[in-house]
């Protein structure tokens, strides 16, 4: 369903690269050290609104950055003010493309997986593993691509579609 509207009782997990911040393919090294960093369109406005009523966390598959380095990248684009924390391989010891990643996040937050919504741009890394764990999912699909495997019911083309 396109045009998903946010849920005020939900904990949001957002992917990092190409969901909230642009992952430039030519850039090398850790994003926090890149010469130029920028947000995905509508990321700042969307997080500003959602964070008023919802906890927001980052769930990233970046394995070469630790939590502090991930946070430094968000500080550079002023998104850190809307975030409650960061989950990555470095602090969970589990890759994000595994359903266990989301179970570990829920356990750390002290909530049921049904209280979490994962928003991401890559079905095989962000969406399908979260679905397998029982997490609500929203595929950020700005190009309107077809799902590569199983159908993904909740899709948005612009982050502002999350604003209730």
What is the tens place of the pLDDT at every residue in 43-85? 999 999 999 999 999 999 888 888 899 999 999 999 999 999 9
User: Tokens for 152?
Assistant: 């993904």
11-111+122-145+157-162: CATH number: 3.40.50.1000
- Region 83-109: what's the mean pLDDT? 96
Determine what percent of the chain is predicted with pLDDT higher than 70.
95
Pairing of strands 116-120, 136-140: parallel
In the sheet that 85-87 helps form, which strands lie side by side, from edge to edge? 85-87, 56-59, 11-14, 116-120, 136-140, 155-156
Span 150-161, mean pLDDT? 94
CA 82 to CA 137: how far, in whole Å? 20
Whole-model pTM? 0.94
pLDDT per residue over 26-37, tens digit each? 999 999 999 999
Q: In angstroms, rounded to a whole number, what is the distance separating the alpha carbons of residues 65 and 139?
A: 24
Domain boundaries, the chain: 11-111+122-145+157-162
């Amino acid at each position: 369903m396109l045009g998903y509207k946010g849920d005020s009782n939900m904990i949001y997990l957002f992917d990092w690269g190409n969901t909230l911040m642009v992952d430039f393919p030519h850039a090398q090294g850790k994003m926090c050290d890149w010469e130029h960093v920028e947000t995905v369109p509508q990321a700042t406005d969307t997080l500003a609104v959602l964070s008023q009523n919802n906890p927001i966390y980052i769930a990233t598959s970046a394995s070469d950055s630790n939590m502090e380095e991930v946070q430094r990248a968000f500080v550079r684009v002023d998104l850190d003010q809307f975030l409650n924390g960061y989950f990555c391989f470095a602090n969970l010891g589990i890759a994000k493309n595994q359903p266990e990643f989301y179970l570990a996040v829920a356990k750390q937050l002290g909530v049921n997986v049904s209280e979490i919504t994962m928003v991401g741009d890559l079905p095989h890394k962000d969406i399908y593993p979260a679905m397998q764990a029982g997490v609500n999912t929203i595929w950020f699909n700005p190009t309107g691509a077809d799902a590569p495997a199983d159908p993904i019911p909740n899709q948005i083309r612009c982050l502002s579609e999350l604003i209730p």
